[in-house]
Each structure stands twice: as C-alpha cells, then as structure tokens.
Amino acid sequence: MGSLESQIVIGDVESFLIVEEKGRGLIDRVKFLDAVRRVLSLSDSRLADCLGVHRQTVWRYRTDPGNASVIEEARAYLGSFSDGGVPPSKMTWEYFQALPHIRRWKEAMDRRMVSEAKQRGLMRSFFNLCKYMKVLPSKVKVEQCAQVVLEQRDRYNRGEPQIKGIAYSIIREAVRGFFMSVRNLSGMHLTNLGIGKEALKGSGKYSRQYVPQEVRHKFEWLLLQKMEEELDKKYLEALGNCKFNFSTGTRISASLAFSFRDHQYELTPTKWMFEIWDKGSRGKKKRWEKILMGGLLDHFKDYCTLRFRIAPENLEAELPRVTNHLFPSFVDGSGKVRDGLMRDLVKPLLVEAGLQYKDFPPTHIWRHTFAQEMLRATDHNYELVASLGGWVNTAILKKHYGEMGECAREQGLMKALGMEILEVKRELAW
C-alpha cells in the first residue's frame, strides 16, 4: 500500500484516462461533420461547444491521421458555399476564407508573391470590415467601403481611437486589393473615392506622441524637487534614464540593463559610446552603438557626477570602476530590470509637467520624441536617424513617424540646385 500522495496521483491518472477514453467515443464522423455544418467552422473551440466536449478532444480528433478523409470532407463542404449560404452575422473566419470571391483574391495575391503573413493581415481586416458593415463579400459595395475608410482616415488624422480590427493603416490597402483583384476596378477610380495609395503620416497608436521642450524642463524640475524632498536617488536615476533615452532613442529595458561590467563602452572627454543590446528584426536582440556628444553629453555628465559622486574631470577614468548598473535603482539584486517601477514613477510627473495626452507610454515616449526631433534636426535623414536610434531600416521610421514633408523636399531640391535658402537651425537639445 503506497502513501496517500501516491494514491491520489494514481487515482488522478486513472480518472484522466477514463475521461480521455470517453471523450474519444463522443466524436465520430457523423457527429463531427454535423457540427461543422452547424457552426460553419473548423475552430476547435466552436466545434467543442457544439459537441459538448473539451476543445482538446476536438483537436485530437482533428489531428488524428486516421481522420484525414473526414477533415478533407469538412473543408470541401465549407468551400462549396456561395455567398448566399449564411447571413453575415454568422460568417466565420474559415467560412469567409472559403468563399469564391476571397479565394480569387488570394490567388491574385499568390501570383503577385505577397507573403502569407501579409495576406492574412489584409484578408482578416477585410473580414472585420464585412462583419462591421453586416454584408457578405459578394454583396459589398465600393461606396460603402469608401465611407468607412474615410471615417477611419478622419479619426486617424485627428488622433482619435479607430474601430478595432479595421485600422486605417491596413483597411485602405485591403479594400484597394479586393476591388482591384476581384471587381476589376481601376486604382484611379478607387483613389477618386478616397481610397488612395498616398503615404501615411505615421502609424501606431502612440508613435506621433512626443514630449515638448517646455514639458521636459518642467519634468526635470519636478524630479529634482522630489529627490530633495524624499532624499531618494531613484528620482535622479529616472531623470538620467529619460535623458539618455531621449538623447539616443533607446528603449527603457535596454538602457536599464547597461552596466560597465557587462557591456562594452568608450569614454572620451568629447564623446561617449555605449554598447546596448536592444530589439532588432523579428524580436531578436541586436548590438547597437549609442553615441552621446555635445550638449547631450554635458547633460548626462551632470547626472553621472551627482549619481556616482565623481568629479566631472575624472568621469572618464573612474566610471569604468562602477560595478553596478548605470541606473541601479531599477534593477534588482538578480539583475532583473524593473522597468514597471520607472513607468509608475515617471507618468504622474509628466502629467503634472503639462503633457496633454490622455494615455501615453511614459518611458517609450522618449524614443518617439528622439525620432521626431532628430528627423527634423537632420532634414529627414532617415539613414542617419535609423543608425543612431536603433531602427532596423528606414521603412520602419517612415511608417511610424511619417514621410518627409513637402517643405523639406522643396528645400532639399533648392539646395541641390545651388539656390539660396533660409536654413532654420534645429538642433537636438534637451
């Protein structure tokens, strides 16, 4: 006779096996196909609700090689419908993909070698649009779509929240693709209806937000005041981190993780360079070189002088001896970054300093601020800004922060032609 604990474990395993065996007996070919006809989907959860079993039971039945012919029969059934088969309210994603109009659209995208990920994004956005308008793809009218696209564009331009699932940045392209591929409408006709192909001013919920200079100065004053009142160095470190991220376009988690012990660096009286491991393409970590020079370096030297109690003239020689992180208050003893603590500290002070946004990323907004101010200061030199700030390519900068404006293009052309222009000095300064 084993221990009570082993008896419980054995009992649980036996119960699981009994339930498992019963679950397998609950589904057969007839029941499975009947459920597919009812829900018009191959979704495990939807079929499980219809059959009254757990979704894992459906998944095991669906992925069993012995049931491959049943699954093919179910797919053929879904693909045999015309658009008149179900009302729009009951249209599922699987049913939508099987419709003749959508299959034609997908074939057209395959011929153009559009990636699978891009195809899914466009089709899913158009599916959401059809559900929102309560119309099937065969009956959708271009005028209806144009009205929704224009409404989304106006919300986008005003900075207002857009309808979920049909953001202007993608629904415009989806509508153009569907009507040009399936209905043979011309691009000019769609452009005249307002579904154009012009460059976006920037996408992303927060990408166009930034901290104005007057707010930055008030924010600095508030942090230093808090430090004096509470005698807590975390306020000084928060200020130093915000200045570093503003000056280099670095994400907070990467800047908080920096330490002289674990990263490479080069410190000279006129230039400091740091090795930062930050996000690269496909979410992988990549090594970026961050540079501080001029007035931005002077600001950061002030922080290091106060934080580590090192005389300004000795910073380059003595800072490498600092064994902990550059912003130690936000890194625990195990080396784990606590960026949430920084967010909670910074956000109310930015609001108090006069930042007007109702909702904003309180630490990542410094990267957005760097991008926009650096683009203006360099006359939209995307290559330079991407290299300094840590963007994989210029396309990301253009997508999220906007294309070069008409004024910048005209001044660039005038400069190339040797014409005299009035240059406005716009430097990156805290």
Q: What CATH number should be reported for the domain whose range is 213-413?
A: 1.10.443
pTM over 0.85: no
- Each domain of the chain, given as residue ranges in start order, spans 19-79, 88-192, 213-413
pLDDT at 369: 94
pLDDT value at residue 3: 38
State the Cα–Cα distance between residues 217 and 44, nearest whole angstrom: 55
* 91 vs 80: CA distance, rounded Å: 14
Collect the ranges in the chain with pLDDT lower than 50. Answer: 1-24
Tens digit of pLDDT for each residue in 245-257? 999 999 999 999 9
d(CA 141, CA 181): 14
DSSP 142-193: HHHHHHHHHHHHHHHHHTPPPPTT--HHHHHHHHHHHHHHTS---HHHHHHT
Give the model's pLDDT for residue 94. Answer: 84
pLDDT at residue number 81: 57
CB 21 within 8 A of CB 57: no
Structure tokens belonging to residue 54: 């757990």
Q: Which residues pair with 272 in a beta bridge?
A: 267, 292
Which amino acid, one-letter code, is at 211? V
3-class secondary structure, 27: coil
**Residue 49 to residue 405: CA distance in whole angstroms:** 53
The pLDDT score that the predictor gives to residue 330 is: 94
